[in-house]
Amino acid sequence: MIRLTWRQFRTAAAVAAGALLAVAVLAAVTGPDLARAYAATLDACARAGDCASATAAFARTDSALAGAFGALVTFAPALVGAFWGAPLIAREFEAGTFPLVWTQSVTRTRWLLVKLAVVGLASALVAGLLSLAVTWWSRPLDRAAASVYATFGERDVAPIGYALFAFALGVAAGMLVRRTVPAMAVTLFAFVTARVCTTYGLRPRLFAPEHRVLALNPESTGLGSEFSPSIMLNSWFNGSKSSALDPATPVMPDAWIYSTRVVDARGHELTDTVLDAACPNIGAGGGGGAPAVPGHVPAPDSAREAMRACVSKLGATYHELVTYQPASRYWTFQWAELAVYAGAAIVLGAACVWWVRRRA
């Protein structure tokens, strides 16, 4: 049965191996240059005495290739689910070949278990090797960016879990839908939904976050607000956590910062009412005291002075509360994510086995 599975799968396996080889060659060719450039940047900035902005700038270099590699690791599991998982059983139904293979001297339970094991193992292997290559290649950029949680799903072991899950999802969808193309569509939709829900809904709740209390910094606190799809999804899943005032994000390398809120000693959040009462005039002349961002029109000096005075005044009763996951938990999160997705894959696989037996 293993030989038949391999015979039916070898073309797909060859395509995947070719794609992996191309990625590996590209990474091997460009990787050492990137590492040398990072070493040179560190060397230069150490002599100049300012490494923060130099590494931040370095983290943004080579963004096209970095983005492509990241997207590849993100979407490879979806492709595995749609092109390996969904057709695995659906094609047998569609082509009417299941009566042929189910009446050979191999029980259909064994038939399915072997198929799940062989192609599932290949899925994990492809995702793992791809992630390994991209993680290795991105090391200089990741060190410079110092935000490991930002590239969480594109590095290390988490993609293996995604690939296993996507594959099992595809098989289950193929069994229920019994047609290849609709099963592929169902797989993609369900996989993306699951990824978004776990990234924004489940992952932040896996482990209780830590807290750190900082004094309000009048130089970097303002009314500023950011906007991105990721922030929107985050507030949709976890509720908006912004206070009336927005302190600048503290420098905590590789930490995952959930929120920076302005609270008093008893933990009550600064409200608009309190803010208006304490500083009636702020916000009149524009944004606030946050450091100038490229492309933004800096607030007038008078407005910034008013904000500074206001924040100093509030600093007597209010402080900044940072809710975060420390960098040291990164691998705990990685293994937890792998366990959650691999566990879901096993449940789906077991459901497929139960289903195929029930028909006997």
Partner 1 sequence: MTNDTVLAANGLGKRYGRRWALSDCTLSVPAGRIVGLVGPNGAGKTTLLRLAVGLLAPTTGTVSVLGGRPGGNPYQLGRVGFVAQDTPAYPHLSVADHLRMGAWLNGSWDRGLAEHRIAQLGLDPRQRAGKLSGGQRAQLALTLAVAKRPELLVLDEPVASLDPLARREFMSAIAGIAAEHGVSVVLSSHLVADLERVCDFVVVLVASRVRLAGAVEDLLAAAGGRSLEDLVIDHMNPDNHGTEARR
Query: Which is closer to partner 1, CB of 87 or CB of 222?
Result: 87
Beta strands in 299-352 (DSSP E): 318-325
Q: Does 100 bind partner 1 (CB under 8 A)?
A: yes
Q: Does 4 bind partner 1 (CB under 8 A)?
A: yes
HSE of 40, CA atoms in CB hemisphere, 13 A: 7
Q: Which stretch binds partner 1 (CB under 8 A): 65-73, 96-104, 120-128, 268-276?
A: 96-104
Q: Does 353 bind partner 1 (CB under 8 A)?
A: no
Long-range CB pairs of 18-27, under 8 A, 24+ apart, other chains included: 20/126, 20/129, 20/130, 20/133, 23/69, 23/72, 23/130, 23/133, 23/134, 24/129, 24/133, 26/65, 27/69, 27/133, 27/134, 27/136, 27/137
Q: How far is 135 from 24, CA to CA, in rounded Å?
A: 11
Beta strands in the chain (DSSP E): 210-215, 221-222, 246-247, 256-264, 318-325
Q: Which of 216, 224, 218 is nearest to 299 (CA)?
A: 224
Q: Does 97 bind partner 1 (CB under 8 A)?
A: yes
Q: Does 316 bind partner 1 (CB under 8 A)?
A: no
Q: Does 104 bind partner 1 (CB under 8 A)?
A: yes
Indicate which single residue of 103, 228, 273, 328 sits in contact with partner 1 (rule: CB under 8 A): 103
Per-residue x/- marks for partner 1, 235-274, CB under 8 A? ----------------------------------------
SS (H, E, C) 108-152: HHHHHHHHHHHHHHHHHHHHHHHHHHHHHHHHHHHHHHCCHHHHH
Q: How far is 60 from 272, CA to CA, in rounded Å?
A: 36
Q: Does 105 bind partner 1 (CB under 8 A)?
A: yes
Q: Which two tokens stand for residue 201?
A: 């809904």
End-to-end CA distance of the chain, in Å? 19
Q: Does 47 bind partner 1 (CB under 8 A)?
A: no
Indicate which single residue of 101, 132, 146, 252 sits in contact with partner 1 (rule: CB under 8 A): 101
Number of residues that bind partner 1 (CB under 8 A): 22
Q: Which of 201, 193, 186, 283 is nearest to 234 (CA)?
A: 201
* Residues of this chain, 66-95, that bind partner 1 according to CB under 8 A: 95
Q: Does 1 bind partner 1 (CB under 8 A)?
A: yes
CB of 59 to partner 1, least distance (A): 47
CB of 9 to partner 1, least distance (A): 11
Q: Which stretch binds partner 1 (CB under 8 A): 101-109, 133-141, 154-162, 179-187?
A: 101-109
CB of 111 to partner 1, least distance (A): 9
Indicate which single residue of 96, 229, 239, 267 sits in contact with partner 1 (rule: CB under 8 A): 96
Indicate which single residue of 30, 74, 107, 323 sits in contact with partner 1 (rule: CB under 8 A): 107
Query: Which is closer to partner 1, CB of 11 or CB of 228?
Result: 11
Per-residue x/- marks for partner 1, 11-30, CB under 8 A? x-------------------
Q: Does 360 bind partner 1 (CB under 8 A)?
A: yes
Query: Which is closer to partner 1, CB of 96 or CB of 239?
Result: 96
Q: What is the DSSP string of 9-56?
A: HHHHHHHHHHHHHHHHHHHHHHHHHHHHHHHHHHHHHHHHT-HHHHHH
* Residues of this chain, 289-308, that bind partner 1 according to CB under 8 A: none
HSE of 188, CA atoms in CB hemisphere, 13 A: 11
Q: Does 146 bind partner 1 (CB under 8 A)?
A: no
Binding site for partner 1 (CB under 8 A): 1, 3-4, 7-8, 11, 95-107, 358-360
